[in-house]
């Protein structure tokens, strides 16, 4: 009996010593084991996808171009690689009457596009009309806020003073449409006021979006570089000054001349001017802000 008790005591003492030693070892730090380094995952900047759109203009001028425009709509819908369409004005020849049926007909054709379509005013449907006020009334009836015939993923804003001037921002690109038509000047007071409104709209937007955009595209109808440029100084002087302050790539995209021009006509070399061919030829434009020159063009994408 005594022997059994001794053995039990021995077991208790041994267990006690084991626990003391184990606790002592556990409390010691091992300087040879380096602390675990927590590696934070680097923040990877998400790439911004380019914006791709199609530019048309100066169309249709006759029955042949009307047929070409209908075919263009069909071909473009089949490809459907652009996010939106911009028509940079002149839906008829300047010499043709400004009949309401023309505005209605072209409006119906353009509504055939599967993607949102924006339209800026041209001189042939306004300035050169026998009654410019009537021409503008027809244009407003059939083309004002034309893009609202489709769902568009971005919020489009309109200038308070001039409802036909629009803008939106997507993928760090500012898009601006203005009522800047070609010559002749049918009313000097109207001309000066409209150009001043355009200048105010563009300069205001460039200032507001200087920090949150990397490029800007401006849509207009008029060639303000080669065709009596002094008549556009009310707009051009303000536009150039605002562009210099913006100091990022700007594309001024217009129709009016019926042949391709791509150049930098002003001292502000951040402005690229492009005059599209128009007519039966569409141009696909890509704006990729990851590139030093973000603007590229493809006039054969429907072939």
DSSP codes of every residue in 129-177:
SSSHHHHHHHHHHHHTTGGGGS--SS--EE-SS-TT-EEEEETTEEEEE
Pairing, β 166-170 against β 173-177: antiparallel
Pairing, β 215-219 against β 173-177: parallel
Token reading at 38: 């927590």
The yes-or-no verdict on residue 24 having pLDDT over 70 is no
Q: What are phi and psi of 262, to 5 degrees?
A: -140, 105
The kind and range of the H/E element at 7 are helix 2-27
Separation between Cα atoms, residue 54 and residue 297, nearest integer Å: 10
The yes-or-no verdict on residue 40 having pLDDT over 70 is no
CB-side neighbour CA atoms (13 Å) of 9: 6
The mean per-residue pLDDT over the stretch 16-32 comes to 46
Nearest alpha carbon to residue 274 among 292, 293, 289: 293
Q: Which residues contact 52 (CB under 8 A, 6 or more apart)?
A: 81, 82, 83, 284, 285, 286, 287
- What pLDDT shows up at residue 4? 44
55: β partners = 86, 283
The confidence band for 8, taking pLDDT boundaries of 50, 70 and 90, is very low
The mean per-residue pLDDT over the stretch 34-41 comes to 47
- What pLDDT shows up at residue 45? 55
Separation between Cα atoms, residue 257 and residue 265, nearest integer Å: 16
Q: Which residues contact 195 (CB under 8 A, 6 or more apart)?
A: 180, 232, 234, 235
Q: Model pTM?
A: 0.85
pLDDT digits (tens, 9 = 90+) for 179-216: 999 999 999 999 999 999 999 999 999 999 999 999 99
- What pLDDT shows up at residue 35? 52
Q: How far is CA 236 from the centre of its chain?
A: 21
- Tell me how long the chain is: 303
pLDDT digits (tens, 9 = 90+) for 112-149: 999 999 999 999 999 999 999 999 999 999 999 999 99
Q: Alpha-carbon Rg of the chain, whole angstroms? A: 33
């Amino acid at each position: 009996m005594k022997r059994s008790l001794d053995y039990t005591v021995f077991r208790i003492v041994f267990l006690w010593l084991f626990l003391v030693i184990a606790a002592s070892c556990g409390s010691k730090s091992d300087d040879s084991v380096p602390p675990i380094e927590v590696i934070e995952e680097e923040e990877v900047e998400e790439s911004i996808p380019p914006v791709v759109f199609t530019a048309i203009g100066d169309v249709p001028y006759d029955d042949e171009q009307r047929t070409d425009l209908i075919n263009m709509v069909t071909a473009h819908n089949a490809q459907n690689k652009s996010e939106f369409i911009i028509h940079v004005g002149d839906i008829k020849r300047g010499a043709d009457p400004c009949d309401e049926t023309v505005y209605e007909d072209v409006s119906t054709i353009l509504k055939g596009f599967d993607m949102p379509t924006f339209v800026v005013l041209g001189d042939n449907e306004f300035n050169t009309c026998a009654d410019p006020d009537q021409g503008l009334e027809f244009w407003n009836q059939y083309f004002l806020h034309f893009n609202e015939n489709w769902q568009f993923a971005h919020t489009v804003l309109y200038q308070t003073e001039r409802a036909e001037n629009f803008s939106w921002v997507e993928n760090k690109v500012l898009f601006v449409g203005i009522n800047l038509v070609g010559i002749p000047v049918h009313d000097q007071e109207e001309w000066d006021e409209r150009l001043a409104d355009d200048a105010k709209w563009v300069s205001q937007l460039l200032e507001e979006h200087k920090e949150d955009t990397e490029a800007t595209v401006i849509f207009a109808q008029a060639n303000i570089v080669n065709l009596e440029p002094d008549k556009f100084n009310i707009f051009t002087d303000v536009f150039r000054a605002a562009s210099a302050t913006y100091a990022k790539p700007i594309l001024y995209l217009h129709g009016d001349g019926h042949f391709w021009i791509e150049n930098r006509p002003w001292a502000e070399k951040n402005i690229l001017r492009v005059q599209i061919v128009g007519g039966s030829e569409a141009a696909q434009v890509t704006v990729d802000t990851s590139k030093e020159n973000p603007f590229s063009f493809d006039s054969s994408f429907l072939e």
